[in-house]
Amino acid sequence: MFTEILKGFVTTGKVAFQPAETIQYPEQRKPVSARFKGRHELKRYDNGLEKCIGCALCAAACPADAIFVEASENTDAQRFSPGERFASTYEINLLRCIFCGFCEDACPTEAIVLESNYELAYTDRHDAIITKDKLLVAPAAGQPTTPMRVEPGTFDRPVPDMKNPD
């Protein structure tokens, strides 16, 4: 019994005299693992179109029922995604989300991705419901952010050539 107590003191002594690892948060951030599942993001194609086609497979795969998707039809006058539909409403309740990644696995277009953002503090329950506006990743510089216009009859491939409405 005495030997076990002595082993415990030796283990504690080894750790007690090691220098403490201090990170000056928020100026410095500790890198996260490649497999870390943080806050969700909705991705876009290179031409600015949303990858989400409003299929709601992510909502069906979510075991916590934290995702709500409502789809609407794209038109030639206003196009948000390359498919026939787009997600007009996309909400994730982060209070219910268990960050399992099933939504990411279920998405056929790889639109929803759990990224490395781990700052998820909220002072109000309504702030924990992340809407589409907050989920969408801003397009690269020079990319369109408004709905795009397609000439009728030119929608013949998954990601059509788009023109900005001016």
Concatenating the DSSP letter of every residue in 19-32 gives PP----TTTS-PPP
Q: Do residues 34 and 114 make contact, with C-beta atoms less than 8 angstroms apart?
A: no
The per-residue pLDDT for 47 is: 80
In Å, how far are 26, 87, 157 from 73, measured between CA atoms? 42, 9, 17
**Token duo for residue 92:** 């994730």
pLDDT digits (tens, 9 = 90+) for 42-89: 999 888 889 999 999 999 999 999 999 999 998 878 888 888 899 999
Q: Model pTM greater than 0.85? A: no
pLDDT at 17: 85
Mean pLDDT of the chain: 85
pLDDT for position 48: 82
Hey, which residues does 149 pair with through a beta bridge?
163
Tell me which CATH code domain 30-135 carries.
Answer: 3.30.70.3270
Where do the DSSP E strands lie in the chain? 40-42, 67-73, 85-93, 112-114, 129-130
One digit per residue, pLDDT tens: the chain, 166 residues? Answer: 889 999 999 999 888 888 888 889 889 988 889 889 999 999 998 888 899 999 999 999 999 999 999 999 988 788 888 888 999 999 999 999 999 999 999 999 999 999 999 888 989 999 999 999 999 987 666 665 556 665 655 555 555 555 555 5
Structure tokens at 59: 């909502």
What pLDDT shows up at residue 151?
Answer: 63
**Count of other CB atoms within 10 angstroms of residue 94:** 15
